Amino acid sequence: MLPIINHPDYVAQIGDDHKFPIKKFGELFKLLKEDEIIKENNLHIPGPVSDADLARVHTLDYINKIKNLSLSKDEERKLGFPIVPSVRQRSFVATGGTVLAAQLALKHKLACNTAGGSHHAFADSGNGYCVFNDVAVAAEKLIAENNIKNILIYDLDVHQGDGTAKIFQNNEKVFTVSIHSKKNYPLNKQVSNLDIELDEGIKDDEYLEVVNQSLQKINSSSFDFVFYVAGVDIHEDDRIGKFKVSAEGIKKRDELVIKHFFDKKIPLCGVLGGGYNRDFNQLVYLHSILHRTCHSLLTYES
Ligand SMILES: [Zn+2]
């Protein structure tokens, strides 16, 4: 079965009226359990990420600021979260969750976190609801400890994976792809190995064609590990995404991407990425498409 990683502390206490829909992580877990995508034998609870793992990506100064809850007001504003103990705890276990998911994906071909994809986090700063760059931390650990040499970070969140691009800009072992909205956050884009910028209002067929072409363009057989950032803020009812992709389009996208690498027997670690849908229940369902798609591929195969 598909290894799925979840921790109750993914739901930090930031107040119910906060713009960030933090409760989605708890509700996603419930939905996956209800639909028997999560059962007792495939649920994995991560520990907090270790200092040694974090330090491969983040500066000690920044790690200590998070540990001591000592961000300045300006840094806290850029992050978008109040820097309180439960946000600190969430950041450590969600990053530990992606590290664990990556390790399990090596063994089982596919594994998914029920959080992660904090792609706006830079080595020395948090931005846009991202404290630590979980995918970068997990990727550096695979390189350091598992002899993985060619990693693809394939980021389909509607926003550019700017922190990830910057962290790996001079790293030949990691290839970063970001397909995102030209006009959306972040204002100052970084340079990924492949950036594809799309206009507002793009619909299913055109979007899926861009994704398909990008998969053909990169030499995907050369990678020995893939991180897939499956943001659902491309959905037509998203509060901030501005694309017009349907739920069916997201399902087709995830099938296209995951099957592409699965058929090539390249291990893939799936992480959530962003989602800010106007309809909370729809948002939770959209995030679950990642897990449903991986689950059915593994089930079909066995
Ligand atoms: Zn996003």
Tell me the residue range of the domain where 168 lies. Answer: 4-301
pLDDT tens sequence across 104-113: 999 999 999 9
pLDDT tens sequence across 183-230: 999 999 999 999 999 999 999 999 999 999 999 999 888 999 999 999
Phi first, then psi: give them for residue 282, nearest 5 degrees: -65, -40
Compute the distance from residue 283 Cα to the ligand 1 centre, in Å: 13
Q: What is the pLDDT of residue 220?
A: 83
Compute the distance from residue 21 Cα to the ligand 1 centre, in Å: 13
pLDDT tens sequence across 149-161: 999 999 999 999 9
Q: Which of 177, 81, 73 is nearest to 121 (CA)?
A: 81
Q: How far apart are CA 280 and CA 286, in angstroms?
A: 10
Count the domains in the chain.
1
CATH of the domain at 195: 3.40.800.20
Compute the distance from residue 231 Cα to the ligand 1 centre, in Å: 6
Q: At 125, which amino acid appears? A: S
pLDDT tens sequence across 14-40: 887 888 889 999 999 999 999 999 999
Compute the distance from residue 151 Cα to the ligand 1 centre, in Å: 21
Q: What is the pLDDT of residue 166?
A: 98
Compute the distance from residue 285 Cα to the ligand 1 centre, in Å: 17
At residue 64, does pLDDT exceed 90?
yes
Q: What is the pLDDT of residue 300?
A: 78
Compute the distance from residue 128 Cα to the ligand 1 centre, in Å: 9
Compute the distance from residue 198 Cα to the ligand 1 centre, in Å: 14
Question: Tokens 């299913």 label which residue?
Answer: 204
Q: Which pair of structure tokens corresponds to residue 287?
A: 């995030």
